[in-house]
Amino acid sequence: MLAVSVFYTGCAGRQANPIPSYLPGNENRSCRALQAEIAQLESDMQRILPETNKFGYNALCVAGGILVIVPFFFMDLKDADKIEWEAMRVRHNRLLVYAAEKECDFGGKGTPDRILSPEEAMKLAKQKAQEQKQQEKEKKSN
């Protein structure tokens, strides 16, 4: 049983390879280089965002694993995509700070917005929902 559990945890997904939020020389990069990397990060983040939530996939593997043990070996418990997405988010936001300090012009598009963490986004969504409910109550009372 111990050998199976060690094997299982070693194979339960791929190892995360997060990018560092700071690289030497970031503060000396040109506006064009900052803009290019910010755009690349946004593209990469959109690409891997659907892969960050493995709950449904893992639930199916557990359900299948109850009947036949093989699906247990395909579960992803390491959250590599989620860790890499979070590292990209932090780097993106850090590069935005450098761009703001240099007063970079992003070609009339305006400066990209800071990307919120999932926790910040949920908190903001709850606040907006509460405000919307409050406005609906005020409309009904009038």
According to DSSP H, which parts of the chain are helical?
2-11, 31-48, 55-67, 80-101, 118-141
Q: Are 117 and 89 in contact (CB under 8 A)?
A: yes
End-to-end CA distance of the chain: 67
Q: How confident is the model over 2-17, as a mean pLDDT?
A: 61
- The pLDDT score that the predictor gives to residue 129 is 85
**How large a percentage of the chain has pLDDT more than 70?**
67
Identify the residue with better confidence: 67 or 121. Answer: 121
- Over the range 100-131, which residues count as b (16 or more CB within 10 Å of their CB) and which as e? eeeebeeeeeeebeebeeeeeeeeeeeeeeee
pLDDT tens digits, 78-100 = 777 788 888 998 999 999 989 88
26 vs 98: CA distance, rounded Å: 8
- The model carries a pTM of 0.62
Q: Are 98 and 31 in contact (CB under 8 A)?
A: no
Q: How confident is the model over 65-86, as a mean pLDDT?
A: 69
